[in-house]
Amino acid sequence: MLAGGPFRELNTLISAAMADDNPEYSGADIKILDAVMDVIGIHGDQGLTIDLVAKHARVSRMTVFRRFGTKDSLIDEAHRREIRSVLHEVGRQADNAHTVAACLEAIVMTMVDSAAKSPAVQWMLRADTSTAVYLWRDRNPSGQQLGRFFVSQMLQQSRFDDPLPADRADFVADVALRLMMSLVLVPDPAFRKADHVQTRIYIHDVVTRLLTADWQ
C-alpha cells in the first residue's frame, strides 16, 4: 500500500474495512444512517435536511443532532459507512476466489451490484451526473485512479497461483474499472433481469478474454 499522499485516506478506509475494524453503531445510529441514504436517494445531498432524516428514521430531530451533529457530518458518515460496506463486501467476495480471474469477476460484479442498490449512486446518475463525473474523473485523485489502485493490489496477491505482475495488474484493473463504470452508466436492459445473470455472463466473458490475451 502507498505510505501517504492523496491515497492515505483510502488506504486507511480499505485497511479498516478488510480488518472489520469499523465503527460500532447503535441500533439508532443504523436507523439514522439508513434513513440518510434513503433521503439522498429521493432528494440528493443538497435536498437532505435533519427533519427529513428524523422522519424517515422515526427518531427525534434532537437524536439525530446528538448522535451526528451537523448535516455535513451526518452525510459524510453515511457515505463513509456505505463505502466501508462496499469495500468489505468486495474483499469478502474476492477472498472466496481461488484464481485471479474469479477474483476480478467477483470485484466487478460486486461493484456493479452495489451501485445498482445504492440510493446515492442512483440519485447521482438520475439527477446529478456532474457530481458523478467529478468524483470518477475530475477529483484528484479520481475514483478511477483510486479504484485501479485498490483492484490492482488485490490481483497481485501471492495467495493466487497466478498473481499478476504489477504493470499487468495495473492495466487489467484499469480496464475492469472502466468496464464496471460502463455497466453502471449504460446498463443493457437485458442485463437487469434475473438477478444480473446476463451481467455476470458478460463480465465473465470480458475477464476471460482480457486475462488470456497475448501479452508478448
Is-contact 86 94, C-beta < 8 A? no
Q: Which residues contact 187 (CB under 8 A, 6 or more apart)?
A: 116, 199
> Any idea where the domains of the chain sit in the sequence?
24-78, 97-216
Helix (H) or strand (E) holding 214: none
Q: What are the φ/ψ torsions at residue 156 (nearest 5 degrees)?
A: -95, 5
Q: Return left, alpha or beta for 49; rule: phi > 0 is left, psi -120 to 50 is alpha, else beta.
A: beta
Q: CA-to-CA distance for 213 and 55, rounded, in angstroms?
A: 54
The kind and range of the H/E element at 153 are helix 143-155
How confident is the model at residue 194, as a pLDDT?
53
For domain 24-78, give the CATH number: 1.10.10.60
Q: How far is 133 from 46, CA to CA, in rounded Å?
A: 17
- Determine the distance from the C-alpha atom of residue 203 to the mean position of all C-alpha atoms in its chain, rounded to a whole number: 17
pLDDT tens string 26-51: 888 999 999 999 999 999 888 999 99
Query: Looking at residue 10, what is its pLDDT?
Result: 53
Residue 2: partners with Cβ closer than 8 Å, 6 or more residues away:
8, 11, 149
- Write out the chain's pLDDT in tens, 216 residues: 333 333 445 555 555 555 555 678 888 899 999 999 999 999 988 899 999 999 999 999 999 999 998 898 898 888 888 888 888 888 888 889 999 999 999 999 999 999 988 888 888 888 888 888 888 888 877 888 888 988 999 999 999 988 999 999 999 999 999 999 999 888 777 655 556 788 889 999 999 999 987 655
CB 124 within 8 A of CB 131: yes
**Which H or E run includes 157?**
none
pLDDT on residue 93: 87
Q: Which of 152, 155, 169 is nearest to 7 (CA)?
A: 152
**H-only helix segments in 48-70:** 50-57, 61-68
**74 contacts 68 by C-beta, under 8 angstroms:** yes
Please tell me the predicted confidence (pLDDT) of residue 2: 33
Residue 15: what are its φ and ψ, rounded to 5°? -60, -45
- Which pLDDT value is given to residue 158? 92
Model-level pTM? 0.81
Contact 88, 109 (CB under 8 A): no
